[in-house]
Structure 1
């Protein structure tokens, strides 16, 4: 309900600010006759009904501005990206960071994986997971990446109940193992 109200307020605010911007733009290029502007200002000072209307509209636009300022501060600091699900018992919110950590846990279990970075993207079909890995180069890369994909998909879906649409693995590099042992003299 609050979101719908905020959307309505944003619509009204956009119309008001847009109208003021168009009028100012036209006045700046002298597309409005000078008489219209001076007559409008004179009428504002003479007619109390117009004064009251301008005061009320200005106050409403100012209050809407304050509301948007408050919402931007409140949601910016407290709202982390999350995946929202509805069950018969209520709502469930799982942060993207939680899903990233589950992916790191599942992918990190694979032998030969040395360094992992994860990026999660939400889609209509579920979650797209992109993994950047550095491996040891001792194991078959296609076999290892398929196993990473399988284990990540299974682990995330079992733990969170969120469908995993795609798991992409990018092997960025291999770690050079030093086969030369240091000499002791």
Structure 2
């Protein structure tokens, strides 16, 4: 939700900055006469409503500039998501993508699994892994998914040392194995 709001604010901000840049370019190239500019400035100082409106727009643009400045710093400092561990020898960072790949490797070793996708979410208690699988129609789904869960949990905990609190398997589809019958004539 915040990303959508930031995109909307950035869109509005860029439109205002674009309009201001066109105005400044028009002044520089003489497209706006001195008389017209003098009339605009006179109106600006004559009417309080115009002064207040321009002041409010200026404050809003400044606040938007500060917002985008801090957002750019926050996003620039964090690279990909990772799980940090501290050992007696130093710090270890394991990316979420690495854990997803390890999960896929462990799950794909199970017979009957045809296609896999993985999502990993890290919490304070440990890792939550969600696997989306396409399986063949030859194996029992409860037995196969239980074996996938066990294999993934064991493999991730052995390799990374991070506890796995949940492995959820979503069977997206069952495909039939291609069986060709030879025809004898």
Partner Cα distance (1:113, 1:85) in 2: 32
User: Which residue is 2:138 aligned to?
Assistant: 138
Q: Which moved more, 1:127-136 or 1:168-177?
A: 168-177
Name structure 2 gaps, 5 residues minimum.
1-47, 52-62
TM-score (norm 1): 0.59
TM-score (norm 2): 0.59
Structure 1, residues 50-86: CA drift from partner, whole Å, max 9, x if none?
xxxxxxxxxxx899668526514623xx600101111
Name structure 1 gaps, 5 residues minimum.
1-37, 42-60
User: Which residue is 2:98 aligned to?
Assistant: 98
Instruction: Provide closer, same or farther for how the CA distance between residues 125 and 72 of structure 1 changes in structure 2, counting only shifts above 3 A.
Output: closer
Instruction: Establish whether residue 129 from structure 1 lines up as the match of residue 141 from structure 2.
Output: no
Instruction: Provide closer, same or farther for how the CA distance between residues 63 and 177 of structure 1 changes in structure 2, counting only shifts above 3 A.
Output: closer
Structure 1, residues 18-63: CA drift from partner, whole Å, max 9, x if none?
xxxxxxxxxxxxxxxxxxxx7xx9xxxxxxxxxxxxxxxxxxx899
5 Å-filtered alignment, 1:70-109, equals 70-72=72-74, 74-75=76-77, 79-109=79-109
Structure 1, residues 98-136: CA drift from partner, whole Å, max 9, x if none?
000000000000001000010111122100001111111
Offset of residue 177 of structure 1:
2.3
Instruction: Provide closer, same or farther for how the CA distance between residues 132 and 88 of structure 1 changes in structure 2, counting only shifts above 3 A.
Output: same
Instruction: Provide closer, same or farther for how the CA distance between residues 142 and 85 of structure 1 changes in structure 2, counting only shifts above 3 A.
Output: same
Q: CA-atom RMSD, angstroms? A: 2.9
Instruction: Provide closer, same or farther for how the CA distance between residues 66 and 150 of structure 1 changes in structure 2, counting only shifts above 3 A.
Output: closer
Partner Cα distance (1:142, 1:63) in 2: 55
User: Which residue is 1:168 aligned to?
Assistant: 168
Offset of residue 178 of structure 1:
3.3
Partner Cα distance (1:174, 1:146) in 2: 16
Partner Cα distance (1:73, 1:121) in 2: 19
Instruction: Provide closer, same or farther for how the CA distance between residues 89 and 175 of structure 1 changes in structure 2, counting only shifts above 3 A.
Output: same
Instruction: Provide closer, same or farther for how the CA distance between residues 62 and 147 of structure 1 changes in structure 2, counting only shifts above 3 A.
Output: closer
